[in-house]
Amino acid sequence: MEEIISLAKRRGFVYQGSEIYGGLAGTWDYGPLGIELKKNIQDLWWNRFVRERDDMYGVDAAILMNSRVWEAAGHVAGFTDPLVECKKCKKRFRADHLSSDKCPECGGELGEERKFNMMFKTLVGAVEDSSSVAYLRPETAQGMFVNFKNIIDSFHPKLPFGMAQIGKAFRNEITPRDFIFRTREFEQMEIEYFIKESEWEKHFEYWLEEMKKWISDIGLSDEHVHEIEVPKEDRAHYSKRTIDFEYDFPFGQSELYGLAYRTDFDLKSHSKESKVN
Ligand SMILES: [Zn+2]
């Protein structure tokens, strides 16, 4: 990994974020070649899945969203990672990333596991009280769900249709690592496709094939991509089926992206919380 990071820097692809001040953990800056590579992939995706289709609606929602969005979506209560702190050196780790019950830094004893919310909290406006709390979005999906009614009202699409977004998301990772893989600020390319419930299996198969074609068209070799059927106990509570695509990264096999049938969980939650039908 060190060799790849060093090469990416020398050639102008990726630099450490805020480097002249010693960096800021979990942030990376794209250089001239890195941003061209990234934009090429994003443009290809946008042209293929948005511009060339007549059933897809693009949006670019604000990163700062009303905190009630995240209450309705369950993130205020549940967007957490298990955190443990070393009693000796006070360093913090993700409990599910540890291979022993001792501190990986100093060998000290670890404290009790607790839940750590990964959303970045900020205050909007000049008043510092709980009513001004907002979160940087930890995922792009909700920016599409909260605009569902706007798309219906402006364009009157018939089912099935989709919404697409490319944009930044922020997660306060306990231990950012593996170069640009697990970072605190990152970009997502995401589609939410709305269907009739009775037809979900057919659409699921269709999007699975589309994703496979996309992977091969951007030049990732099939032998390094693995399709993982996520078992019920590991799926998000609202998902009826999830398939993760994992890739053989230099640091090991890990998630590249996924396909999930989320049922009507999101739209139902927002409709209930916002009282907007
Ligand atoms: Zn320690």
Q: What is the CATH number of the domain that holds 202?
A: 3.30.930.10
Separation of CA 116 and ligand 1 centre (Å):
19
Residue finishing a domain among 70, 94, 117:
117
The residue out of 89, 117, 145 marking a domain boundary is 117
Residue 151 CA, ligand 1 centroid: distance in Å: 51
Amino acid, single-letter form, for residue 165: Q
pLDDT of residue 231: 94
Do 34 and 109 belong together in one domain? Answer: no
Question: What's residue 151's pLDDT?
Answer: 97
Question: Which element (helix H / strand E) includes 11?
Answer: none
Residues 59 and 192 in one domain: yes
Per-residue pLDDT of the chain (277 residues; tens, 9 = 90+): 899 999 999 999 999 999 999 999 999 999 999 999 999 999 999 999 999 999 999 999 999 999 999 999 989 888 899 999 999 999 999 998 898 889 999 999 999 999 999 999 999 988 878 788 999 999 999 999 999 999 999 999 999 999 999 999 999 999 888 999 999 999 999 999 999 999 999 999 999 999 999 999 999 999 999 999 999 998 988 899 999 999 999 999 999 999 999 999 999 999 998 888 7
43, 108: one domain: no
Q: Cα of 83 to ligand 1 centre, how many Å?
A: 14
Q: Within this chain, do residues 183 and 253 fall inside the same structural domain, yes or no? A: yes
- Same structural domain for residues 105 and 140? no
Whole-number pLDDT of residue 99: 86
Distance from the alpha carbon of residue 122 to the mean position of ligand 1, in angstroms: 30
Residue 97 Cα, ligand 1 centroid: separation in angstroms? 15
What is the model's pLDDT at position 240? 94
Looking at the structure, do residues 87 and 202 belong to the same domain, yes or no?
Answer: no
Beta carbons of 66 and 171 less than 8 angstroms apart? no
Q: How many domains does the chain have?
A: 2
- Give yes or no: residues 185 and 233 share one domain: yes
pLDDT given at position 224: 96
Same domain? For 171 and 190 the reply is: yes
For residues 48 and 154, state if they share a domain.
yes
The domain in which residue 96 lies consists of 80-117
Cα(102) to centroid of ligand 1, in Å? 8
How far does the centroid of ligand 1 lie from the alpha carbon of residue 86, in Å? 5
Whole-number Å distance, alpha carbon 110 to ligand 1 midpoint, is 8
Per-residue pLDDT tens over the stretch 128-165:
787 889 999 999 999 999 999 999 999 999 999 999 99
98 and 225 in a single domain? The answer is no
What's the angle, vertex CA 259, arms to CA 57 and CA 199, rounded to 5?
A: 75
> From the CA of 115, how far away is ligand 1's center (Å)?
19
**Residues 96-121 pLDDT 10s:** 889 888 999 999 999 999 999 999 99
210 and 90 belong to one structural domain: no
Q: Which amino acid is at 215?
A: I
- State the pLDDT at residue 217: 94
Decide which of 60, 90, 117 is a domain's last residue.
Answer: 117
DSSP reduced 3-state for 56: strand
100 and 210 both lie in a single domain: no
